[in-house]
Structure 1
Amino acid sequence: MKTRLACLAAMAVLPAALPAAAHAQGSITLYGVVDAGIEYLTNLPTAGGTSHDTVRMSAGNLSTSRWGLRGNEDLGGGLKAIFTLESGFDLDTANVNQGGRLFGRQAFVGLQNQYGTLSLGRHQTVLYDFSLTYDPMAVASRYSVLSHDKWLSGRADNSLKLTGQTGGLYYGLFYSTGYDSSAGGEIPGDYKAGRNWSAAVGYSAGPLSARVVYDEVRGSTVATDDNRERRATIGTAYDFARGRVFAAYRWYYGDFATSSLRTNLYWVGATYQVTPAITLTGAAYYTDVRNSSGDPYSFVLTGTYAFSKRTDLYTVLAFAKNNEGSSMGLGGFGPSLNRSATTLTATSEQVGAGQNQFGAIIGVRHRF
């Protein structure tokens, strides 16, 4: 009994005896987005080899549905500890995205000060950060620049990321020792397999900003570790009174054991706030496949009506035009990692060669 009383007394006085550093200020925030709508899509392929129009529920159209925890602790002297855990899911089925990972969108811990943030874990790449800033559609899940190149929203396991801003200068460095743990991850004795690294630099002055990024990724297995895919992007944006205009370019070169592929991707667009509640966004994308006339275009127009700061109603209209045997569907196509062919790889929703596709969505999005 005396031992228990002594323990209770010690616990009562312990907080007063701890140094002031133990009482550092911190916070944890629960946040998220839920987004779903109804989609009409033409020329959707069927198992029988034909194609038909369809009307279906479509989740994560402007923003992938997600929930997350974000926290920080003030360590003093301008230094903070930070972390983010973010899970993505389909609202219509409640299935987890990113290969079933619990926190597949982001999961990292790190330190932050006035010079930048250094973190370790699973991150979105600095190429993804570029796309968020310079794609007029902000890499929306449906009909954005991702229709032409999915890797522009790349994420990587086992990664270290450094980003910062000094005055108008932006900088970013990224390195992964195994970008996809489900496809091999980190392989002992093989320093090339699964490596992904990126570097970015940008500058902003008043309404004008620009950024360049270089990204390189290796095959994820011992057999494919000499496969190398390289991307370089440059983008610029200009803010005016009620909107923003964008222009960007992405160079791609895939170098494989028996083949290679080179493409150029261009896009332009603008966003305009018609009223405090209504915003319009338009964009045009074009992929030039070297040594091929199969070069697809896509065009997107989006309108949103904000009921409040957290809830909006939206509609999206898009059209994909295919030339000379190209088969890009609005669901996406583009260079895919560790390929060994010289043609672009489409998703399961590719259209027939030379077919065009029209899509329309009306939906609602809520942020919390």
Structure 2
Amino acid sequence: MKSRAWLALLPLIPGAAMAQGSITLYGVVDAGIEYLSHVPNATGGSNSTVRMSAGNLSTSRFGLRGTQDLGNGLKGVFVLENGFDLDTGKVNQGGRLFGRQAFAGLQARYGTLTLGRQQTLMYDLSSAFDPMVISTRYSLLMHDKWMSGRADNAIKFTGTTGGVYYGLFYSTGYDSTAGGEIAGASKAGREWSASLGYANGPLSTRVAYDEVRGSTVTLQDNRERRAAVAAAYAFSSVKVLAGYRYYRGDFTTSSLRTNLYWAGVQYQATPAISLTGAAYYTDVRNSSADPLSFVLSGTYALSKRTDLYTILAYAKNRDGSAMGLSGFGPSLNANATTLVNTTEQVGAGQSQVGAIVGMRHRF
């Protein structure tokens, strides 16, 4: 009885109140059927294919998100998020249990400081200003996979004051499976970035810079730099988005420069129907091999958590470019001198058509 009485009095004692907290289980499951033309085959040619494709608009995932009130406006926060393929059950992000995100930190009035495996600031810009919201299929990621980059061993600070957004990011080893955090080689695996934005009413804009080094002692002087600027303007039911990304890769024996442009429109036709159209173009410096892609998508909401969708895409390759709809990008560790497809590369100059119908459920 006495212990219960003391417990009842604790909230009345300054500094003795029990901290309030919450933990949320959340996730997305997404899968569909995809048609894809000009898929490379074993004989060196190509054929069309129909297959199940997972994580089309949103990568399938589940996670835990928690907060705890520490008093005086300070909160403890954490996120553990796993990504997987719904069609096979395989774990994504190189087999990491919580490969999408795994971090803990503190949240205060002027921002949030977190440590762990985290989304880069370039990822944050892309998710806010890509018309396709960097969906796994047929989005900005077709032209540069790094626009949805994540980094191990990362310290991240982001905040918003008034309409001003700001962010700083530093990783001592962005990919622990490749290297980094090597004694006497402080540049190996290092990544750092900064971002600044502004939002006021229907207008929002943001800039970001990201720099990454090779992961080993041999490759630590290899350097990739990206700078991006993007903006969006929302009307009553229409949102217009556009952006530009500059890329410069300086490798041991080569270099690469590209400019990536994108623009698109999101339209909420009815409370249940939303439509998106987007175009993406990569200009490879000192080359006419410049790929172009177009995307149309539509979703129909069966409920607040479940929707049906369709996506149509066309990748146009010119003068020897070979971008497939599964995406391409320069490889830092391979000393790439041309844009290399990271998954399914079509024949040089060959275009590709893709179409998906699918379903997505959030919980």
TM-score bracket for this pair, using the shorter chain length = over 0.9
CA contact (8 A) 1:237 1:244 kept: yes
From 40, 45, 60, give the equivalent of 1:65: 60
CA distance change for structure 1 residues 277 and 256 in 2, over 3 Å: closer, same or farther? same
Q: Which residue of 2 aligns with 1:274?
A: 269
Q: Which residue of 1 aligns with 2:39?
A: 44
Q: Which residue of 2 aligns with 1:301?
A: 296
Aligned 1:156-195 pairs, distance under 5 A:
156-195=151-190
Q: Which amino acid is 2:193 matched to?
A: S
> Secondary structure at the residue paired with 1:224?
coil
Q: Which amino acid is 1:204 matched to?
A: A
Task: Note the aligned Cα RMSD (angstroms).
Answer: 1.5
Aligned 1:282-361 pairs, distance under 5 A:
282-361=277-356
Q: Which amino acid is 2:178 matched to?
A: A
Deviations 1:139-172 (A, max 9, x none): 0000000000000000000000000000010000
CA distance in structure 2 between the aligned counterparts of 1:199 and 1:304, rounded to whole angstroms: 34
Aligned 1:99-118 pairs, distance under 5 A:
99-118=94-113
Q: Which residue of 2 aligns with 1:3?
A: none
1:91 equivalent to 2:86? Answer yes
For structure 1, the residue ranges without an aligned partner over 5 or more in a row are 1-8
CA distance in structure 2 between the aligned counterparts of 1:337 and 1:23, rounded to whole angstroms: 49
CA distance change for structure 1 residues 21 and 152 in 2, over 3 Å: closer, same or farther? farther
1:114 Cα deviation from its structure 2 partner: 1.3
CA contact (8 A) 1:117 1:162 kept: yes
Q: Which amino acid is 2:197 matched to?
A: G
CA contact (8 A) 1:21 1:75 kept: no
Q: What is the TM-score normalised by the length of structure 1?
A: 0.95
Deviations 1:234-293 (A, max 9, x none): 000000000210010000000011110000000000100111100000000000000001
> Paired residues, what number?
360
From 152, 155, 159, give the equivalent of 2:150: 155
CA distance in structure 2 between the aligned counterparts of 1:263 and 1:309, rounded to whole angstroms: 40
Could you list the structure 1 runs, at least 4 aligned residues long, displaced by more than 3 angstroms after superposition: 9-22
> Secondary structure at the residue paired with 1:94?
coil
1:10 Cα deviation from its structure 2 partner: 10
Q: Which amino acid is 1:84 matched to?
A: V
Q: What is the TM-score normalised by the length of structure 2?
A: 0.96
Q: Which residue of 2 aligns with 1:200?
A: 195
CA contact (8 A) 1:283 1:299 kept: yes
From 115, 135, 141, give the equivalent of 2:136: 141
